[in-house]
């Protein structure tokens, strides 16, 4: 088999495999939604405990509530994106600096671990006191939760570059800047993007936790309000919106990863 034919066969197998995964995921979704619609009725479960799926859809597309969903979704998304941008930039920058300074890394890293070990729910009330109920306090919580995955994964990627490749660059007279930009950063990209995927997930959690603690707007506020009124279908509708946001952000990171890391197997 010629090389072009073999490449074409691999691509067809990869396309078929992805299609099977999509079909399988859709089938699982259909089964889950059907069970959600009929099991609560068959089990005589009260609607305030587990509403049927049709009631959740009605709450999700309620014309009276939909504008509030949109406005508060934009608020939460703003908190997530701002915090994610700042947290990722800080984590990436500090990781690059610490990777070049192993002695400083050894001194600083235990304190980083200690700060990471503190539950963010416990410190969120302090941020409300310091920064108020507005946007800044929510962004700070998101920054903290996005910062550490980027920091740890980037350091791991930079410190685990193949030593033989480093020696090869040195033998060929590469400057320190060339070593960092042409070898270390490209080699660390898979770990960096893994940290980014974790940061996106943590950012969503951080925004909602911060809104639970104290906020005037956001999906977390709407969830608390719906819970207080025992409007369980609305709570589930808001959880669906949060899940959709998380999926879209994660998908954006995965697409960016495929564009940037062209040598990974999923691009073959």
How much is the pLDDT for 7?
Answer: 55
Residue whose token pair is 């943590």: 202
Burial degree of 116 (CB within 10 A; 0-12, 13-18, 19+): middle
How much is the pLDDT for 13?
Answer: 72
Where are the domains positioned within the chain? 1-45, 47-267
How much is the pLDDT for 267?
Answer: 46
Query: Which homologous superfamily does the CATH classification assign to the domain defined by 47-267?
Result: MetI-like (1.10.3720.10)
Say how far apart CA 15 and CA 145 lie, in whole Å.
Answer: 36
Q: pLDDT tens digits, the chain, 268 residues: what are they?
A: 455 566 566 667 767 777 778 888 889 988 988 888 888 888 888 878 888 888 889 888 988 888 899 999 999 999 999 999 999 999 988 888 887 777 887 788 788 878 778 777 777 788 888 887 788 888 988 998 899 889 989 888 887 776 767 667 676 666 666 676 677 777 888 888 999 999 998 899 888 988 888 778 889 899 999 888 888 899 999 999 999 999 999 999 999 988 888 776 654 4
Three-state secondary structure readout of the chain: CCHHHHHHHHHHHHHHHHHHHHHHHHHHHHHHHHHHHHHHHHCCCCCCCCCCHHHHHHHHCCCCCHHHHHHHHHHHHHHHHHHHHHHHHHHHHHHHHHHHCHHHHHHHHHHHHHHHHCCHHHHHHHHHHHHCCCHHHHHHHHHHHHHHHHHHHHHHHHHCCCHHHHHHHHHCCCCHHHHHHHHHHHHHHHHHHHHHHHHHHHHHHHHHHHHHHCCCCCHHHHHHHHHHCCCHHHHHHHHHHHHHHHHHHHHHHHHHHHHHCCCCHHHC
Q: Is 71:218 a contact under the CB 8 Å cutoff?
A: no
Taking the model in full, what pTM does it have?
0.81
Q: Identify the CA nearest to 164 among candidates 192, 191, 187.
A: 187
Q: Is 156:189 a contact under the CB 8 Å cutoff?
A: no
């Amino acid at each position: 088999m010629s090389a072009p034919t073999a490449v074409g066969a691999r691509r067809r197998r990869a396309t078929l495999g992805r299609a099977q995964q999509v079909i399988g995921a859709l089938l699982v979704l259909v089964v889950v939604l059907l069970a959600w619609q009929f099991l609560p009725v068959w089990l005589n479960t009260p609607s305030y405990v587990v509403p049927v799926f049709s009631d959740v859809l009605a709450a999700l597309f309620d014309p009276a509530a939909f504008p509030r969903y949109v406005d508060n979704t934009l608020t939460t998304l703003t908190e997530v994106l701002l915090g994610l941008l700042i947290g990722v930039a800080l984590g990436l920058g500090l990781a690059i600096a610490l990777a070049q300074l192993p002695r400083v890394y050894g001194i600083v890293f235990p304190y980083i671990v200690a700060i990471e070990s503190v539950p963010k729910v416990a410190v969120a009330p302090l941020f409300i006191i310091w920064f108020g109920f507005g946007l800044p306090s929510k962004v700070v919580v998101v920054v903290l939760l996005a910062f550490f995955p980027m920091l740890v994964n980037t350091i791991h990627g930079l410190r685990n570059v193949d030593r033989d490749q480093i020696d090869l660059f040195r033998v060929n007279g590469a400057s320190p800047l060339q070593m960092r930009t042409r070898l270390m950063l490209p080699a660390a990209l898979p770990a960096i993007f893994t940290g980014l995927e974790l940061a996106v997930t943590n950012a969503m959690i951080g925004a909602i936790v911060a809104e639970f603690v104290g906020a005037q707007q956001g999906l977390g506020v709407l969830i608390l309000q719906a819970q207080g009124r025992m409007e369980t279908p609305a709570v589930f509708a808001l959880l669906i919106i949060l899940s959709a946001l998380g999926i879209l952000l994660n998908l954006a990171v995965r697409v960016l990863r495929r564009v940037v890391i062209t040598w990974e197997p999923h691009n073959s």
